[in-house]
């Protein structure tokens, strides 16, 4: 039987028998594909943070450079200097104004290191440790958990390719001393994949769950929903996002990353009920 690990993110327990958690997104990147998620002032940051906390966010994910695929959205490349400036000029304020753990969404070790110095609790690396060779050692040395996303060095054209990519990233993490109990995996919905592959991954999410690590899924307003429902504008994709989120949680997702926390929380609750997970005590819900 596969042992399912629990990961501690700044006191928040994720995985195993704990309820599915909701990760709210704060984009400091003006090039992000969903314009309504961008915040560029302290006033907007406070409003976004307070709104997410009131809506039930368990963790807030902060990004200083968009990872949306250039081929789909024409996303421009952001230099390390620009990403670092965006993160360092805002992260202290964000952490000071929130009561939930904060993660940093980056593929660059210098950005992750600066964010860890400010007190973030999780590194979310969409390259799966493939982009920056220093990242794995940094995470190991700092003793923080990491999200490893499927990254095939190009497009993951099949579910099998995504799965093998996650396995490689896990092996890389273990080889530098990141323990099993600090690894979360992400099958990488979107990121230029064919829409039918995204749909297959959600249908067969159990294969990724079989690796024993908590599984993060990010379907929020992504292109496969637009393709399926003929909705080219991401602002139109909320209903499809809610449906896909519920199904992903029903199929085993432990953590969902979303631009819409209130709706994501509701969708996760429905998905949990469909999965047949019994109600947890209040202490378990809080991760204590």
pLDDT, tens digit, for every residue of 98-139? Answer: 999 999 999 999 999 999 999 999 999 999 999 999 999 999
From the list 222, 237, 265, 272, the catalytic residue is 222
| Domain-embedded: residue 58 | no
Annotated active-site residue 257? The verdict is yes
From the list 13, 257, 265, 272, the catalytic residue is 257
| Domain-embedded: residue 48 | no
Phi-psi region of 192 (alpha: psi -120 to 50; beta: other; left: phi over 0): left
Q: 149 in helix, strand or coil? A: strand
| Domain-embedded: residue 43 | no
In this predicted structure, the answer to whether residue 259 has a pLDDT above a threshold of 80 is yes
Q: Which residue has the higher pLDDT, 212 or 286?
A: 212
pLDDT for residue 36? 62
Measured distance CA(96)–CA(105) in Å, rounded: 18
| Domain-embedded: residue 85 | no
pLDDT for residue 153? 76
pLDDT, tens digit, for every residue of 215-250? Answer: 999 999 999 999 999 999 999 999 999 999 999 999
Average model confidence (pLDDT) across the chain:
90
Query: Which residues constitute the domain of residue 233?
Result: 7-24+104-285
Confidence of residue 43 (pLDDT cuts 50, 70, 90): confident
Q: How many residues does the chain have?
A: 288
pLDDT for residue 30? 72
pLDDT for residue 78? 83
DSSP annotation of 56: T
In 171-186, which positions are buried (b, 16+ CB within 10 angstroms) versus exposed (e)? ebbeeeebeeebbbbb
pLDDT, tens digit, for every residue of 81-90? Answer: 999 999 999 9
| Total domain count, the chain | 1
In this predicted structure, the answer to whether residue 279 has a pLDDT above a threshold of 50 is no
In this predicted structure, the answer to whether residue 277 has a pLDDT above a threshold of 70 is no
pLDDT for residue 105? 96
| Domain-embedded: residue 15 | yes
pLDDT for residue 288? 45
Q: Which residue has the higher pLDDT, 136 or 64?
A: 136
In this predicted structure, the answer to whether residue 280 has a pLDDT above a threshold of 90 is no
pLDDT for residue 75? 59
| Domain-embedded: residue 98 | no
Q: What is the CATH number of the domain that holds 132?
A: 3.20.20.20
Report whether 102 contacts 127 (CB < 8 A).
no
pLDDT, tens digit, for every residue of 137-159? Answer: 999 999 999 999 999 877 789 99
| Domain-embedded: residue 261 | yes
pLDDT for residue 32? 63
Measured distance CA(116)–CA(263) in Å, rounded: 29
Measured distance CA(160)–CA(156) in Å, rounded: 8
| Domain-embedded: residue 1 | no
pLDDT for residue 4? 87
């Amino acid at each position: 039987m596969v042992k399912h690990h629990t990961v501690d993110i700044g006191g928040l327990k994720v995985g195993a028998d704990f309820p599915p958690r909701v990760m709210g997104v704060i984009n400091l990147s003006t090039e992000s594909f969903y314009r309504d998620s961008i915040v560029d002032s302290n006033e907007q940051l406070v409003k976004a943070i307070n709104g997410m906390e009131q809506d039930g966010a368990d963790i807030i994910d902060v990004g200083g450079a968009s990872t949306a695929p250039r081929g789909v959205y024409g996303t421009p490349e952001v230099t390390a200097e620009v990403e670092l400036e965006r993160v360092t000029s805002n992260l202290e304020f964000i952490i000071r104004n929130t009561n939930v753990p904060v993660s940093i969404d980056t593929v660059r070790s210098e950005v992750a290191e600066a964010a860890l110095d400010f007190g973030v609790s999780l590194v979310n690396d969409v390259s799966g440790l493939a982009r920056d060779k220093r990242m794995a050692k940094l995470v190991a040395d700092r003793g923080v958990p990491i999200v490893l996303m499927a990254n095939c060095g190009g497009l993951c054209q099949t579910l099998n390719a995504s799965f093998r990519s996650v396995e490689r990233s896990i092996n890389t993490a273990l080889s530098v001393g990141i323990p099993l109990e600090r690894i979360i995996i992400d099958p990488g919905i979107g990121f230029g994949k064919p829409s039918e592959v995204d749909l297959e991954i959600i249908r067969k999410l159990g294969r990724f769950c079989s690796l024993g690590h908590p599984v993060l899924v990010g379907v929020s307003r992504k292109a496969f929903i637009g393709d399926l429902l003929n909705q080219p504008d991401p602002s139109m994709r909320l209903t499809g996002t809610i449906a896909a989120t519920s199904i992903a949680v029903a199929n085993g997702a432990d953590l969902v990353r979303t631009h819409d926390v209130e709706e994501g929380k509701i969708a996760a609750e429905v998905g949990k009920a469909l999965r047949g997970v019994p109600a947890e005590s209040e202490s378990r819900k809080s991760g204590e």
